A and B are shown apart, each in its own frame.
Chain A
Amino acid sequence: MTEQKMETREDERKMDYSRNEGNTHPEYSPSLLIDRVANGWRGEVKTDSGDDREAGPCDLEDEGSCPNISRRIIRQRRSRRMLALGLLLVALAYYAWQAYLRPRMQQEWDLKEGFLPGRVNETYGIAHAGDFDGTRIQDIHPDLVPGGAADHKGKRRLVFVGDIHGCKEELLHLLSKVDFDPATDHLVATGDVVSKGPDSPGVLDELIKLGAQSVRGNHEDRLVQAAKTVLGKNVPLSSAADTSKGYSKDQVLLMELKPKHMHYLHDMPLMLRIPALPLAKKKGKHHIRDEMIVVHAGLVPHVPLDRQDPYFVMNMRSIDHKTHVPSALHETERGNSEPWFDVWGWYQERLDRGRSTSAFHVYSHAEWLENQAPNGWLGKLRGLLVTKPMRKLKPQVAVYGHDSKMGLQVHRWSKGLDSACVSGGQLTAMLLDAKGKTEIVQVECKNHT
Chain B
Amino acid sequence: MRLRFGALAYSFVFFLRTAASTHGRFATRDAPFDQVREIPERSHQDADEDEPEKYFHESTFSMHYDGRFADKQLNYNERRSSLTALMQTYVSTMNDIGAETWIMHGSLLGWYWSRKTLPWDLDIDVMVSEQSIHHLANYYNMTVHTFSLSDRNTEDGENRSSSYMLEINPHYTNSTLDSVNKIDARWIDTSTGLFIDITTLRRNSTAQALGCPDAMMVKDTHHYNYDDIFPLRQSTFEGYPVQIPYAYAELLMEEYGAKALSEVYFQNHRFDPGRGEWMALRYAEFVRLRDEGVVFDAKFWDAGAICKDFGTCGNYRNPVDSVSLPASSGERDGDEDENETAVHSQQATAEHNKPSSGAQTEDSVLSSRLLEQRRRASQRWQA
Contacts and interface: CB of A to CB of B under 8 A. Distances in A.
13 contacts: A121-B264, A126-B264, A129-B112, A130-B248, A131-B235, A222-B246, A225-B231, A225-B232, A233-B380, A244-B227, A247-B231, A250-B231, A323-B259
Nearest to B379: A232
A121 B112 CA distance: 18
Contacts of A365: 273-274, 301
Contacts of A232: 377, 380-381, 383
Interface stretch (A70-78, A180-188, A192-200, A326-334): A326-334
A250 B246 CA distance: 14
A231 B247 CA distance: 21
Contacts of B263: 121-122
A325 B227 contact: no
Given A122-B259, A122-B264, A327-B253, A130 B112 contact: yes
Contacts of A247: 226-227, 230-231
Interface string A292-332: 00000000000000000101100100001001110110001
A91 B169 CA distance: 73
A328 B231 contact: no
Contacts of A240: 213
A127 B380 contact: no
A226 interface: yes
Contacts of B214: 244-246
Contacts of B250: 328
B53 to A, nearest CB: 30
A362 B273 CA distance: 11
Given A123-B264, A128-B276, A130-B244, 16 more contacts: A117-B297, A118-B296, A130-B233, A131-B233, A228-B377, A228-B378, A232-B383, A240-B213, A244-B214, A244-B227, A259-B381, A262-B381, A311-B247, A315-B247, A323-B259, A368-B301
Contact of B112 (A128, A244, A259): A128
A263 interface: yes
Interface in B354-383: 377-378, 380-383
A332 B259 CA distance: 13
Looking at B114, B298, B378, B381, the one whose CB has the most chain A CB atoms below 10 A away is B381
Contact of B261 (A118, A127, A229, A246): A127
A227 interface: yes
Contact of B227 (A131, A246, A263, A315): A246
Contacts of A263: 382
Nearest to A231: B381
Interface string A214-227: 00000000100111
A346 interface: no
B258 A320 contact: yes
Contacts of B261: 124, 127, 325
A173 interface: no
Contacts of A287: none
A244 B226 contact: yes
B311 interface: no
Contact of A325 (B253, B271, B300): B253
Contacts of B262: 122-124, 126-127, 323-325
Contacts of A225: 231-233, 246
A136 to B, nearest CB: 15
A228 B230 contact: no
Nearest to A246: B227
Pick the 3 closest A-B CB pairs, nearest first: A232-B380, A231-B381, A244-B226
B302 interface: yes
Nearest to B113: A127
A391 to B, nearest CB: 15
A112 interface: no
Nearest to B214: A244
A227 B381 contact: yes
B249 interface: yes
Contacts of A324: 262
A385 B298 CA distance: 24
A361 interface: yes
Contacts of B226: 243-244, 247
B229 to A, nearest CB: 10
B258 A325 contact: yes
Contacts of B296: 117-118, 120-123, 361
B273 to A, nearest CB: 5
B265 interface: yes
B32 interface: no
B98 interface: no
Interface string A238-259: 0010011111001000000001
Contacts of A123: 262, 264, 296
Given A117-B296, A121-B263, A309-B249, A362 B225 contact: no
Contacts of A259: 381-383
Interface string A53-91: 000000000000000000000000000000000000000
Contact of B231 (A120, A228, A233, A315): A228
Contact of A126 (B258, B273, B380): B273
B380 A231 contact: yes
Contacts of B265: 121
B383 to A, nearest CB: 6
Nearest to A367: B301
A63 to B, nearest CB: 59
Contacts of A124: 261-262
A220 to B, nearest CB: 12
